[in-house]
Chain A
Amino acid sequence: MIAKAFGPSSIDISTEKLSWLEALERSVNLLVESGRTKPEYFEQVLASTQKLGPYFVVAPGIAIAHAAPSSAVLETGFALLKLEKPVASGSINDPVSLLFSFASVDSESHIELLGEFANMMSTPGKVNLLLNASAIGEIRDILSENLVG
């Protein structure tokens, strides 16, 4: 389920030095490019982070940018921007290297998917594999090797 949640063109690696907002926009745009959201989804993510701070930096080096379900979401899905130059967001879990974006069409259909995602990210060694991956195909393989429920 996880592997399918990452559409074509939803994974990218940035070697540039980006600001937090640039990185955020780049990551959310991967959802746009892979057909999961409309461009205005970024405005909604931005509004949420401006109001509440970088609360979606949920683990050391890992962020999951998202906003509430809205008409800007076309299909539930994930994207991942890997930052080879980690970025400071203002969170205690800085700097961010794995900047996921997530969108859901409603508040029900994604629960199982997020459960699977939590399982995957809590599996010892998984995060390190992602941090050490240097090619998009390699990242996709790591995300697909999530066979344990």
Chain B
Amino acid sequence: MKIYAVCGAGIGTSVLLKSNIDKVLSVLDIEAEVSAVSIATAMDAESPAQVVLITPELQDQIKGIASEVITIDNIFDLGELTQKLSASLS
């Protein structure tokens, strides 16, 4: 399964988000390929990710994307990430 952590440039927020997604998925024992990408990359990808995680401010920028979109309010809250990822993936 492919998961994208998305931010404006794909180098800051998305990398932080990916780091915590990896941590949560390993606790949930779910295997996935998580990549930190820019909005442009997420939109242009030939094979879209199954799930895209993004901060609420940016969700309008990926309207129409062929992936399930999960918005994360607090990227440092492992509880929020765990809850949203397990609801989506299980």
Binding site for B on A (CB under 8 A): 48, 51-60, 62, 64, 66-69, 91-93, 102, 104, 107, 110-111, 114-115, 117-119, 121-122, 127
Contact = CB atoms under 8 A, between A and B. Distances in A.
B31 interface: no
A66 B16 contact: no
Interface string B1-20: 00000011111110111011
B33 interface: no
Given A60-B74, A92-B56, A93-B74, A55 B15 contact: no
A125 B55 CA distance: 23
Contact of A118 (B8, B73, B76): B76
B76 to A, nearest CB: 4
B76 A53 contact: no
B16 to A, nearest CB: 4
Sorted nearest first, the 6 A-B pairs with minimum C-beta distance are: A55-B57, A68-B9, A118-B19, A66-B12, A115-B19, A59-B74
A58 B9 contact: no
Interface string B51-80: 000011110010000000000011111100
A58 B11 contact: no
B31 to A, nearest CB: 19
Given A64-B12, A115-B19, A122 B77 contact: yes
A131 to B, nearest CB: 13
A68 B11 contact: yes
